[in-house]
């Protein structure tokens, strides 16, 4: 089953909350797709009363050699992994560590999907912990940034750091960012309750982009997105998917949830492509390419080209 259609019926919901007790989690993987890629490191930090009380760190042998790209990105080498346990041996340990705690992470939906699928495959049970995404919180606390990667948030908040893309160190950065943003929220937003009211109850429930309505009645019918159908794949860096889709609708276009014969533009998130994903392409991209080969009026564009289009550059 392709990742785009993967069903995770027992997966919990993403929430915006500020518990005193939680577990920060981060994974390093061989790529972006739980279907094709493998976990090579798990890091976790247990927090009680806003203080770190325990840590978990484990390298994992994926059963094959990892690419030069992943080795250079993470600093994890094939030699480091050769003597490490398999994911099936590690999952019971991470289950014991996280217990029923809320999971906190940056772009954590990615990590949750990997854990869910591995728990389901190796342990015959789903991973059901609720989760909080610090990326989503940072978009509201720190508006106007060009990107919302963990490195961007760390630097914007004045947190010292250099060792990124290792699971435990990224957990430590996420913990510091989360606690720092909590302090800012109490001052700048009048408290947690006021802040939470600005969000819907379930951020990660499936967005139906087809129902979005424009915020204007005036359109420029010469704009390249006017009367065009756009679909997104991958994670956008500058906007949430709903925000980007709303821009399209406000320009007189419309958005679809999946690539169809009516799709005119497929916009690739900046991390939709990774050479370690099979064929280097998402399911939506493969489908769009198939339509294009048949003569369909569809273009596949990068996130940066999309921004040039909406800004008129």
Q: Are 250 and 213 in contact (CB under 8 A)?
A: no
Check: CB of residue 43 under 8 Å from CB of residue 167.
yes
**Would 201 be classed as within a structural domain?**
no
Is the domain of 179 the same as that of 226?
no
Are 177 and 239 in the same domain?
A: no
Distance separating alpha carbons of residues 152 and 155, to the nearest angstrom:
5
On whether the CB atoms of residues 310 and 247 are closer than 8 A, the answer is yes
Same domain, 192 and 243: no
Boundary-marking domain end, from 196, 229, 255: 196
Residue 148 is classified by DSSP as -
**What does the DSSP 8-state code read for residue 211?**
G
Number of structural domains (the chain) is 2
pLDDT for residue 10: 85
Based on the fold, state whether residues 223 and 302 are members of the same structural domain: yes
**Per annotation, catalytic residue among 106, 147, 165, 223:** 165
Contacts of 116 (CB under 8 A, 6+ apart): 8, 11, 34, 126, 127
Based on the residue annotation, tell me whether 147 is a catalytic residue of this protein.
no
- Do 35 and 155 have their domain in common? yes
CA distances from residue 211 to 144, 231, 295 in whole angstroms, order as listed: 26, 13, 28
Which of residues 144, 161, 196 is at a domain's end? 196
State both tokens at 257: 């949830």
Nearest Cα to Cα of residue 135 among 238, 233, 47, 270: 238
Indicate whether 78 and 147 sit together in one domain: yes
The range of the structural domain enclosing residue 114 comes to 3-196
* Per-residue buried b or exposed e for 167-192, using 16+ beta carbons within 10 Å of the residue's own CB: bbbbbbbbbbbbebbeeebeeebeee
The answer on 154 and 34 residing in a single domain is: yes
Question: Distance between CA atoms of 35 and 55, rounded to whole angstroms?
Answer: 28
User: Cβ distance 189 to 181 under 8 Å?
Assistant: no
* CATH at residue 52: 3.30.420.10
Determine, yes or no, domain membership for 73: yes
**236 and 189 belong to one structural domain:** no
> What integer pLDDT is reported at residue 206 of this predicted model?
55
| 131 and 216 housed in the same domain | no
For residues 216 and 192, state if they share a domain.
no
Q: In which order are the strands placed within the sheet that holds 229-233?
A: 254-255, 229-233, 265-268, 299-302
CA 236 to CA 108: how far, in whole Å?
A: 14
**Domain membership flag for residue 202:** no
Cα(305)–Cα(20) distance, rounded to whole angstroms?
42
CATH code where residue 227 lies: 3.40.50.10190
Q: Which of 242, 295, 305 lies closest to 270, judged by CA?
A: 305
Question: What is the predicted pLDDT for the residue at 2?
Answer: 39
The domain boundary, picked from 167, 196, 225, lies at 196
Decide if 204 is inside a domain.
Answer: no
In this structure, the answer to whether residues 65 and 158 fall within a common structural domain is yes
Which tokens is 272 given? Answer: 């939709």
CA-to-CA distance for 273 and 281, rounded, in angstroms?
A: 6
Q: What pLDDT, on the 0 to 100 scale, is given for residue 201?
A: 43
Domain membership flag for residue 300: yes
Q: What pLDDT is recorded for position 29?
A: 94
* Residue matched to tokens 């995404």: 133
Q: Is residue 47 part of a domain?
A: yes
Nearest to 261 by CA among 291, 290, 283, 293: 291
- pLDDT score of 265: 95
* Chain center to CA of 180: 21
Q: Which residue has the tokens 């760190």?
A: 57
- Residues 156, 184 contacting (CB under 8 angstroms): no
pLDDT of residue 274: 39
Q: Are 87 and 118 in contact (CB under 8 A)?
A: yes
- In order along its 313 residues, the chain shows pLDDT tens digits of 334 446 788 888 788 899 999 999 999 999 888 888 999 999 999 999 999 999 999 999 999 999 999 999 899 999 999 999 999 999 999 999 999 899 999 999 899 999 999 999 999 999 999 899 999 999 999 998 988 999 999 999 999 866 788 999 999 999 999 999 999 999 998 888 888 877 754 444 456 888 888 988 889 988 999 999 999 987 777 777 888 899 999 999 999 999 999 999 999 875 443 333 445 577 888 899 999 999 899 999 988 889 888 886 5
Q: Is residue 304 part of a domain?
A: yes
Q: Which of 15, 5, 274 is nearest to 132 (CA)?
A: 15
Structure tokens at 58: 């484990």
228 in a structural domain:
yes
- Closest by CA to 42, choosing from 109, 97, 79, is 97
Triad 150, 154, 160: Cα angle to 5°: 135
Q: What is the structure's pLDDT at 275? A: 38
Residues 93, 30, single domain; the answer is yes
In angstroms, the CA 161 to CA 155 distance is 8
């Amino acid at each position: 089953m392709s990742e785009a259609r993967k069903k995770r019926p027992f997966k919990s919901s993403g929430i915006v909350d500020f518990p005193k007790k939680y577990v920060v989690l981060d994974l390093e993987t061989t790529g972006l797709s739980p279907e094709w890629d493998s976990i090579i490191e798990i890091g976790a930090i247990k927090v009680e009363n806003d203080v770190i009380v325990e840590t978990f760190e484990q390298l994992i042998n994926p059963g094959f050699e990892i690419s030069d790209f992943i080795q250079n990105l993470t600093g994890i080498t094939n030699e480091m992994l050769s003597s490490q346990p398999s994911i099936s041996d590690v999952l019971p340990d991470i289950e014991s560590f996280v217990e029923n705690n809320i999971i906190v992470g940056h772009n954590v939906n990615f990590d949750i999907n990997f854990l869910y699928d591995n728990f389901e495959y190796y342990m015959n049970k789903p991973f059901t912990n609720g989760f909080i995404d610090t990326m989503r919180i940072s978009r509201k606390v720190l508006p106007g940034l060009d990107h919302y990667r963990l490195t961007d948030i760390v630097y914007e908040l004045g947190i010292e750091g250099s060792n990124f893309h290792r699971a435990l160190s990224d957990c430590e950065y996420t913990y510091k960012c989360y606690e720092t943003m909590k302090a800012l929220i109490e001052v700048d937003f009048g408290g947690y309750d006021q802040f939470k009211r600005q969000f819907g109850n379930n951020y990660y429930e499936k967005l139906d982009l087809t129902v979005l309505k424009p915020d204007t009645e005036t359109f420029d019918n010469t704009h390249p997105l006017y009367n065009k159908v756009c679909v997104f794949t991958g994670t956008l860096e500058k906007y949430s998917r709903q925000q980007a889709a709303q821009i399209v609708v406000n320009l007189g276009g419309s958005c679809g949830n999946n690539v169809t014969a009516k799709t005119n533009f497929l916009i690739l998130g900046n991390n939709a492509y990774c050479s370690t994903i099979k064929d280097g392409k998402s399911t939506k991209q493969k489908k769009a390419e198939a339509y294009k080969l048949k003569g369909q009026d569809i273009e596949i564009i990068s996130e940066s080209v999309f921004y040039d289009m909406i800004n008129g550059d």
